[in-house]
Amino acid sequence: MPELQELPEDNIFQAYGILLLENKHRFVKKLKKHYTPSIHGHKTWNSSFLLMDYFLHKQLLNNKQRVLELGCGWGPTSIFCAHHAGCKVTGTDRDDEVFPFLELQAALNQVEITTESISFEKLTKKHLTDYDIVFGTDICFWDDLAKIHYNLINRAKKAGVKHVLLADPGRQPFFDLAERVLTKHDAELLDWYCTEPEYFEGYILHVKL
Ligand SMILES: C[S@@+](CC[C@H](N)C(=O)[O-])C[C@H]1O[C@@H](n2cnc3c(N)ncnc32)[C@H](O)[C@@H]1O
C-alpha cells in the first residue's frame, strides 16, 4: 500500500488496489448538491472491504465471470471485481441517486460498470440467468430484507447462478437470513476480517448453488 503522500490528492483512500473517495472529497461534495441517496447509499460501507478480502483469499474471480452486485451503492466491490479480475460487472440498486457516485469512482479506477436501477424483489430468475456470481455488502439491514434475500437466493439457484456472497457487519436480519439459508443450501457463515483501509471484522455468507 503506498504512503499517503503518494495518493493523488486529499480525501482519497486506497483499499485492495482501488482508489475510493471520502464524503469530503471535492467531487463528492459537488455531486451531493444534485444527488441524495436515501436508503443508506451515501458512502462506502466497510462490509465491502470484507468481501474484497474474501474474494482475494478464495481466488473466486476471473475475467470470464459475469457478476451482479445487489444494492451496490457507490459500487466499491463492483469496481474491485472489474479492476482486480476484469469481470463483467453489473451494479444494481433501487435508488438510482447512488449511480453518479459509483460512476465517479469507476472512472477514477478506469473501469466500466453497467448500472441498473432495480430492487432486490424485482430481480427475476430470467434476470439472474445472465450471472455466475451474485453478491452484496451490507444489504440485509431491515427485518423484512431477510425474507427478501432468502427468496432471491432461491431464484438465483433456479437461474443457474454458481455463488451468492453476502458480507455484513453482523446485523440481526443477516443472521436470520443465514440461519434459513444454512438449512436449505450448501452454504458457510464465516467470521472474516479485512485489513484495508483499516482493520474491520464482520461476516461472510457464502452460498454455493
Ligand atoms: C448500507 S448501503 C450499502 C451500499 C454498498 N453495498 C456498500 O457496501 O458500500 C445499502 C444499499 O442497498 C440499497 N437498497 C436498499 N434497499 C434496496 C432494495 N430493496 N433493492 C435494491 N437496493 C436496495 C440502498 O440504496 C443502498 O445503496
Rounded-to-integer distance, Cα 168 and Cα 140, Å: 8
Ligand 1 atom 18: the closest Cα is on which residue?
119
**pTM tops 0.75:** yes
Mean of pLDDT values over 160-181 = 98
Ligand 1 atom 14: the closest Cα is on which residue?
71
Model confidence at 7: pLDDT above 80: no
pLDDT in tens, 83-142: 999 999 999 999 999 999 999 999 999 999 999 999 999 999 999 998 999 999 999 999
Question: What total of structural domains would you count in the chain?
Answer: 1
pLDDT at 1: 46
- Residues of the domain holding 108: 4-208
What separation in Å is there between the alpha carbon of 70 and the centre of ligand 1?
7
Rounded-to-integer distance, Cα 171 and Cα 45, Å: 14
Neighbours of 170 (CB within 10 A): 11
Total length of the chain? 209
pLDDT at 36: 93
pLDDT at 142: 96
pLDDT at 4: 47
CB-ligand 1 contact for 73 (6 Å cutoff) = yes
pLDDT at 41: 85
Q: Which is higher by pLDDT, 2 or 47?
A: 47
pLDDT in tens, 39-90: 988 989 999 999 999 999 999 999 999 999 999 999 999 999 999 999 999 9
Helix, strand, coil fractions of the chain, as percent rounded to 5? 40, 25, 35
Instruction: Give me the half-sphere count of Cα atoms (radius 13 Å) on the Cβ side of residue 156.
Output: 27
State the angle between helix axes of 143-159 and 172-184 in degrees (0 to 180), rounded to the nearest 10.
30
pLDDT at 3: 47
What separation in Å is there between the alpha carbon of 41 and the centre of ligand 1?
6
Q: Residue 72: which CATH number?
A: 3.40.50.150
